[in-house]
Amino acid sequence: MTDSHGGPRWALRLHDAGGVREVSVAVTRLVIAGWTGRDPAAIEHHIEELAAIGVPRPSQVPLFYRVAASQLLPAGALEAVGDQTSGEVEPVLVRHQGRWWLSAGSDHTDRRAEAWSVALSKQLCAKPVAGDAWPWEAVAPYYDALRLRSWAVDGSRREIYQDGAGASLRPPDELLRLWQAQGGDTPEGMVMFCGTVPAIGGIRPAARFEFGWECAPIGAAVSGGYEVAVLPVVS
């Protein structure tokens, strides 16, 4: 379902001290934060990882990509043109009723297009998101302990694809400050993907991606998954 402004409505279960409540968030803005690592060596590793498949170096670090709000995909299936696309787990901030909530998503990307335009590659694929979120202020003190993981699934084979800690990434509130310092606004319904961790064994496609994070100190967890339907490349 989409809102009157063209963006989707994201059905979320919000977890906080008062229990769990279900809401429908009208997504108004979608931003993908890239190159968000804290460790310069780790950032360089990811840049080289992408360079291996032809992706040019970023113009600055971190970098914020605007993507159409309609590309948010709160569903379990994704269609992509060609077989050279893949996902990556990310913490995802969403602004709802004046508060920031932390969910999870997959920055699914067209790797062929990424080799000549990262901004376009981000736009070409929908961005699947999970169905749960926790208050950012509750997670923030323990963000370094956040464990981010994703799995690549092909048939009966399910392999760990990413496994890293929040400590390797700039905290989301720092990314928001940098975004605002560059003139970005933070309207109600804004969504920001907050960066990822390296793929184990290199970036590669899969028939299904599963993703999520756990924050053990507060017993919080968010997860999601989606099938990838490959559409034919025709000319």
Under the banding of pLDDT at 50, 70 and 90, the label for residue 1 is: very low
Model confidence pTM above 0.95: no
Q: How far apart are CA 29 and CA 42, in angstroms?
A: 29
Per-residue pLDDT of 193-212, as tens digits, reads 999 998 999 889 999 999 99
- For residue 166, give both structure tokens: 């929040």
More confident residue, 235 or 100: 100
- 191 compared with 47, residue with greater pLDDT: 191
Residue 224: pLDDT above 50? yes
Residue 216 has pLDDT above 90, yes or no: yes
pLDDT tops 80 at residue 6: no
Q: What is the pLDDT of residues 144-183, one digit of tens each?
A: 999 999 999 999 999 999 999 999 999 999 999 999 999 9
- Rounded to whole angstroms, the Cα distance separating 112 from 61 reads 22
List the one residue out of 107, 96, 105, 127 whose CA is nearest residue 26.
96
Instruction: Inform me whether the pLDDT recorded for 2 exceeds 70.
Output: no
pLDDT digits (tens, 9 = 90+) for 90-122: 999 999 999 999 999 999 999 888 778 888 888
Q: Of 116-125, 179-188, 219-228, which gets the smallest average pLDDT? A: 116-125
pLDDT in tens, 21-52: 999 999 999 999 988 989 888 788 778 877 78
Give the pLDDT score at 156.
Answer: 94
What is the CA 74 to chain-centroid distance, rounded? Answer: 12
Q: Which among 204, 128, 108, 219 is positioned nearest to 160, based on CA atoms?
A: 204
SS3 state of residue 116: coil
pLDDT at 49: 75
Nearest to 148 by CA among 198, 214, 77: 214
- Could you tell me if 161 and 139 are in contact, meaning their C-beta atoms sit under 8 angstroms apart? no
pLDDT at position 4 is: 44
Q: Which helix (H) or strand (E) holds 138?
A: helix 136-139
Q: How far apart are CA 6 and CA 135, in angstroms?
A: 26
- Domains assigned to the chain: 9-231 (3.90.850.10)
Q: E strand or H helix at 122, and its extent?
A: helix 118-124
CB atoms within 10 A of CB 127: 24
pLDDT at 3 over 70: no
Among residues 84, 23, 28, 75, the alpha carbon closest in space to that of 53 is found at 84
If you ran DSSP here, which 8-state letter would residue 58 be given? Answer: P
Q: What is the pLDDT of residue 5?
A: 53
For residue 189 the two structure tokens come to 């319904």
